[in-house]
Amino acid sequence: IFHFTKLLQVAGQAEDYHSAEKFMLELHRRGLKLNSHTFSSLISMYSRAGMVDKVVETHTKMKETGVKPDVVAMNACITAYGRALMICKMEQVFAEMHGHGIDPNQITMNAMVGGYAKAGMTSEMARCYRAMVKGKLRPDTMTSNAIISGKGKVGKTFEMDIMFRKMQDRTVDINLITLSIMIDGYGKAKKISEMGRPYNEMQEKGLGGDLVTLSSMIAGYGRNGMIGEMEKMFMKMT
RNA sequence: CCGGAAGCUCGUCGC
């Protein structure tokens, strides 16, 4: 089972779902029992592939087979339900952790914040953030990035700025993704001059900017009808 | 703290 779990992981990260399926069949044929590593790998893989029904099916199976869930498997479920915007299910899994005697860790909270961010549930994000600080789980770059993303999604650019400053104050690393999220948020709010700021900061830090960054810039200029600026960004993609 | 490492966490658009 250890071997097959590894194979599934590799197939999953390579997005080779055909092979993954074959490994699953073979694994069943041999009557191997899935363990928590297998389940977390499967759930994560199905989630990335957008196969929500398979996520639910696998999660259900994990509960039925009586495999002892661990924090990683629970985290994988939380992430998967968050991505699928099944917020009630996500919260349910989170609540079940206590019953299993599993303590949420930093990744658990980041996954929760990520789900709320995708759903635009900003007050719930803030609640998680406060719970982290209180529970001595330090919010990190990913936590902050998710929060800024959620604020941007609902057009609260001023609150994006607050979180950004908080990162600076707490010396949380500001990375390429942080700045890309800021660009996207300003762009969606049509705050074009503000949008240039994180982009410039990127250049100053030598981070360059990747395809996602440039796509966000192009979309921002596009919303304002700034065709010339769009084309300039497009050229940088080469 | 450093190094090794891969089951889970963050960004645009599309499917």
Q: Measuring CA to CA, which residue among A150, A153, A219, A149 is closest to residue A179?
A: A149
The answer, as to whether pTM is greater than 0.95, is: no
Q: What is the pLDDT of residues A4-43, one digit of tens each?
A: 888 888 888 888 888 888 999 999 899 999 999 999 999 9
pLDDT of residue A230: 95
Give pLDDT tens digits for A84-111. Answer: 999 999 999 999 998 999 999 999 999 9
Proximity of residue A145 CB to strand B below 7 A: yes
- Which pLDDT belongs to residue A129? 96
Task: Enumerate the H helices of chain A as residue ranges.
Answer: 2-13, 17-29, 36-48, 52-64, 71-83, 87-99, 106-119, 122-134, 141-153, 157-169, 176-188, 192-204, 211-223, 227-237
Residue A178 pLDDT: 97
Average pLDDT over every residue of A115-131: 96
The spacing between the Cα labelled CA in A171 and the C1' in B13, in angstroms, equals 32
Amino acid at A177: I
Cα A138 to Cα A140: distance, rounded to the nearest angstrom? 6
**Residue A148 · residue A184 · CB < 8 Å:** no
**C-alpha dihedral, A64 to A65 to A67 to A71, nearest 10°:** -40
Contact A9, A17 (CB under 8 A): no
pLDDT of residue A18: 85
Chain B positions under 7 Å from a protein CB? Answer: 6-13, 15
Nucleotide nearest to A9 (CA to C1'): B7
Nucleotide nearest to A115 in CA–C1' terms: B9
pLDDT of A153-201, one tens digit each?
999 999 999 999 999 999 999 999 999 999 999 999 999 999 999 999 9
The predicted model gives A206-218 an average pLDDT of 94
Give which of A157, A147, A103, A153 is closest to A126, Cα–Cα: A147
Provide the H-helix boundaries in A135-175.
141-153, 157-169
Q: How far is the CA of A63 from the C1' of B2 (A)?
A: 40
pLDDT at position A173 is 96
CA dihedral over A211, A215, A216, A218, signed as positive or negative? positive
Q: What is the pLDDT of residue A6?
A: 87
Report whether A47 contacts A77 (CB < 8 A): no
Dump pLDDT digits (tens) for A42-88.
999 999 999 999 999 999 999 999 999 999 999 999 999 999 999 99
Query: What size, in residues, is chain A?
Result: 238
Report ipTM (2 d.p.): 0.79
